[in-house]
Amino acid sequence: ILYPHESVNGTRKVVDIEKYPISKKYLTKHKEVLSSRTYVIEAGRKWYEIWVPHDPLLWEQPKIIFRDISEKPTFWLDTEGTVVNGDCYWFVVDKNNPNLSWLALAVSNSSFIENFYDKKFNNKLYSGRRRFITQYVEQFPLPDPSTDLSRNIVEMAKTIYDRTGKLDTSILENELDNLIWDSFGVSRPN
């Protein structure tokens, strides 16, 4: 992976390409195309920078990843330090309150969120796909995490996660979906 940013004393910085002659040689082959990205140049960035840099120190941390464009919400937990592809977004799991992350993961993958998304943002693309971009996802509601219902949602989400790929989880997933609707005090549509 060729990544043109690094963390120095907790601050993200562009790498000095002169220190990496092999990378410089590769990037220079593509300099014309890379330099033509006027939005990068106009933002005061180096010709070889990427538009949306991430903090490489955060890659190692557990995170929730989600597809940018998808017909249905597709959020998953990464605990392996994956470098996230450019067609996905991600946020770091709250180490001080991991159950909140499980709650967010469960709600984000629910039919409730599909319904919420369609009513709140009304933004469908080709073939019924939705954009799950940060400005939408940050507005997703969460039920009160201190309730018994929310604690049940968290435990069921963990159980489904542990069983995925080993056992059929479809019945549990349906029960979880119903719990999420209940946690917001509304009935799941038929």
**pLDDT for the residue 55:** 77
Contact between 62 and 84 (Cβ < 8 Å):
no
- Of 14 and 180, the structure prediction assigns the larger pLDDT to 180
Nearest to 89 by CA among 67, 62, 107: 67
- Within 13 Å, how many C-alpha atoms sit on residue 79's CB side? 6
100-130 per-position pLDDT tens digit: 999 999 999 999 999 999 999 988 898 889 9
Instruction: Summarize the confidence of residues 59-82 as an average pLDDT.
Output: 92
Instruction: Summarize the confidence of residues 144-156 as an average pLDDT.
Output: 97
Residue 165 has pLDDT above 70, yes or no: yes
Angle between helices 148-163 and 170-183 (to 10 degrees): 160
- Residue labelled with tokens 């593509």: 30
Residue 53 has pLDDT above 80, yes or no: no
Residue 30 has pLDDT above 90, yes or no: yes
73-95 per-position pLDDT tens digit: 999 999 998 888 778 899 998 88
Average pLDDT of the chain to the nearest whole number: 91
Contact between 41 and 47 (Cβ < 8 Å):
yes
Percent of the chain whose pLDDT exceeds 90? 65
C-alpha distances out from residue 126 to 13, 49, 87, 89, 136, Å: 37, 31, 16, 20, 18
For the whole model, what pTM was predicted?
0.81
* pLDDT confidence band for 178 (50 / 70 / 90): very high
Alpha helices in 19-91 (DSSP H): 21-29, 31-35, 38-42
